[in-house]
Amino acid sequence: MEGCTLMATESLPVELSLDKIRTNENQPRKTFYIETLEELAASIKERGVLQPITVRPLHGKDEGFYEIVMGERRFRASKIAGLSTIPAVVKELSDEEAATDALLENYQREDMNPIEKARAVQGLLQFMSYEKVGKTLGVSETTIRRMLELLELPLAIQQELIQKPGPGEGPFNEGHARLLISVNDDPAAQTRLVQKVKQEKLNVSDLEKIIQAIKQFPQKKEAFLRVAVAVTDQMLRSLGAKAERSRPYKAQTAEQHLKTIDKQATTLADLLDARIGEYLSAEHMNQLLATTAELQRELDSFNARIREALANKDFGFREVYIHCPLCGRVELIGSLRCSVCWTILRRCYDCGNYDRTFEKCSVTGSKIFIGEAENPKDYSKSYKCPMYKPKFEAQAIKLKMA
């Protein structure tokens, strides 16, 4: 009945004119998507308003009007549907009671976004303690404080959390938003990170990786904001390795380090098939050459340091390469054994100083039988012989002495 000012008997619904109803500016739900309202309006046209809204009477200068406590979506959809009245339950409620009822109705709805929930809780705390709010909502005080943390974000980021993703964009959700709280001192970076999440459809773990990368290497922030997350992984490995080299070296890891280098070098060597150039564009070949040239520069620097260390540790160090007699791997004679098959490298049989006819060393005159010359042991004279002279030059890349 239009203009009705009577209270509903025992909470029975009455028909109120839509013109006599006012929305509540403190309503927890602030976002109403037009497409969902239109869907609800179509349902109301067909079946009517199935659940009455809840209102409270206004007093003073607004006497005769009602304020919505619960059901603003139904009210808005009824207007779209062209109705003039709506079923409503009228209750005399205080501000605290109205705010509590409104929040409770919306709190469990999946489509109420985290910012709306946080703002509603913030409103309740104006006249309730944390403990009472927690009991009212059935959540812990810790949960309440976590909800309120989202309100520490700049308003622009809060709005991003409210909005739906655009066409072709990934979602920006509460997990993403919580990570951005740690970057509150850099609003510009926050905004770019939000766009990166949406455009590249990043999950929470991806965003966390990028934020941690920026914090760990702030000088590379611009790069991390621009590159794909897969490239971020590569950059972190490279930067991490450089940072590790600046720290004191752990001597106990040296042998494991050697094994890893050997394994990776073998893998890379197996990939060096020059035929790749026949199938790459000029742009990709430029990229490939830049990559291998950078690797070469790193290797040249690394090799120079290793030669220097060898010269300091090994008096008489000679950079002489030989083939392993068993598997054919190229090694330095100072390695003593092949790093692949563990065969002894220096055999009298391959030495230019060995006289095979008389089975002896032409320098020392020592008798060395052919069996020992071909298959030496670690106690054989050739094992660490300083006069060893390879008969054949190893077919390997000639590395210049530093």
Helix (H) or strand (E) holding 160: helix 155-162
CB 78 within 8 A of CB 49: yes
| SS3 state of residue 69 | strand
Residue 72 designated active-site: yes
For 37, other C-beta atoms within 10 Å of its C-beta total 17
Residue burial 316-339, b: 16+ Cβ < 10 Å; e: rest: eeebebbbbbeeebebebeeeebe
Catalytic residue among 72, 116, 331, 372: 72
Enter the DSSP assignment of 5.
-
DSSP code per residue over 308-358: HHHHHHSTT----EEE-TTT--EEEGGG-B-TTT--B---GGGBTTEETTT
Which 3 state secondary structure label does DSSP give 86?
Answer: strand
Pairing state of beta strands 66-70 and 354-355?
unpaired
Catalytic residues: 72
